[in-house]
């Protein structure tokens, strides 16, 4: 995994890295490996993950075919933009 650091902005690079790791499931994997998982628990977890994936796939397929309505899209909050720097001289 690779993240570019622009203008020595480490904070932004860390946010991007954490988001990428979240999408890849690295944090979930680390949490799972913290302690021993019995084989029976592993089978149960993997089976429930497979069921969840199958349901998600079926739901997406039904939405594509028009059998169920698509959920309403959430509006993302507007991004804050940096204001242009002023020289302190009022413009008339």
Structural domain spans, the chain: 1-35, 37-69
- pLDDT level of residue 76 (50, 70, 90 thresholds): confident
* Whether the model pTM is above 0.75: no
Give 78 or 17, the one with higher predicted confidence: 17
Q: How far apart are CA 80 and CA 72, in angstroms?
A: 24
Residue 13 has pLDDT above 90, yes or no: yes
- pLDDT level of residue 52 (50, 70, 90 thresholds): very high
Give 44 or 85, the one with higher predicted confidence: 44
Residue 89 has pLDDT above 70, yes or no: no
Phi-psi region of 21 (alpha: psi -120 to 50; beta: other; left: phi over 0): alpha
Q: Where are the alpha helices (DSSP H) in 1-92?
A: 10-24, 26-32, 39-65
């Amino acid at each position: 995994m690779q993240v570019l650091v622009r203008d020595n902005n480490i904070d932004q690079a860390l946010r991007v890295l954490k988001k990428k790791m979240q999408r890849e499931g690295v944090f979930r994997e680390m949490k799972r490996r913290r302690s021993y998982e019995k084989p029976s628990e592993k089978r149960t977890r993997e089976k429930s993950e497979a069921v969840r994936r199958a349901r998600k796939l079926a739901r997406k397929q039904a939405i594509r075919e028009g059998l169920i309505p698509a959920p309403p899209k959430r509006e993302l909050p507007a991004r804050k933009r940096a204001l242009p720097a002023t020289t302190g001289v009022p413009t008339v």
